Amino acid sequence: MSTTDTLLSVEDLHVHYGKSHVLHGVDLRVGRNEVISLLGRNGSGRSTTMKAIMGLVPPSAGSIRLRERELAGARPYAVCRSGIGYVPEEREVFANLTVDENLRMGEQRAVPGAHRWTVEQMFDYFPRLKERRNTKAGSMSGGEQQMLTMCRSLLGNPLLMLIDEPTEGLAPKIVAQVGECIVDMHRKGLSVVLVEQKLAIALKVSTRVCVMGHGRIVFEGTPQALKADQQLVSEWLAV
């Protein structure tokens, strides 16, 4: 990948939680319009990698660049403004606001080159949100809150979305809608980094996969290459 095609570049990223050293030099490059799945067992450091990129946990060493801009040490709002959207594992909705109001809260002027999204598009992806547009978000199911968090982030018109386990605990029909939504983000030119426990979905939507183990990337390649390597799957992914 030439440097001009690189959107996000993470180099030798280290993170400590107190004395516990959890990221041991993560290297990750995300190109324009790539969908990368970050795979690995629980505790391998996938969420911490995303949180470090977002400025939610401070890196103890390493660099995080979006295009040419250094983001290591930047505040979360500044990371978000620079064009990175984040959907955390925990569904984060404004409980006392309606679905509509939550969506409006996410709206942000698009950075140059980013696709512009509309609330109507969100309702096309997730018709259930349209039905519930005047409902207080706090009274909705976990799955509905998850869809809402994802749509609110998209309305920030990011260049890159970091999405942490979006399908966890969702009904199969909603899982399929989430998958479709990610495929469409790709079609519209976004880059996506996805943490997804369901290997079949990750392999289907990704252009490239990275496997994490012990706080490092231990494999990087195409979904086909991962699928063909049963030893790798059993060593790093099988439970």
Ligand X SMILES: Nc1ncnc2c1ncn2[C@@H]1O[C@H](COP(=O)(O)OP(=O)(O)O)[C@@H](O)[C@H]1O
The answer to whether residue 127 forms part of the interface with ligand X (CB under 6 A) is: no
Told to check if 58 binds ligand X by CB under 6 A, we report no
Binding ligand X by CB under 6 A: which of 21, 25, 43, 77? 43
Among residues 44, 102, 145, 149, the one that binds ligand X under rule CB under 6 A: 44
Q: How far is the CB of 42 from ligand X (least distance, A)?
A: 4
Scanning 44-52, 72-80, 168-176, 179-187 for contacts with ligand X by CB under 6 A, the matching segment is 44-52
Report CA torsion sign: 164, 168, 174, 180.
positive
Nearer to Mg ion, 47 or 206 (CB): 47
Q: Which residue among 8, 29, 30, 45 contacts ligand X (CB under 6 A)?
A: 45
Considering only 8, 22, 74, 193, the residue that binds ligand X (CB under 6 A) is 22
Q: In this chain, which of 2, 3, 4, 42 binds ligand X, going by CB under 6 A? A: 42
Query: What is the number of the residue whose Cβ is closest to Mg ion?
Result: 47
Residue 20 interaction partner, one of ligand X, Mg ion, none, beta carbon < 5-8 Å per kind: ligand X
Report the interface residues with Mg ion, using CB under 5 A.
47
Report the interface residues with ligand X, using CB under 6 A.
17, 20, 22, 40, 42-48
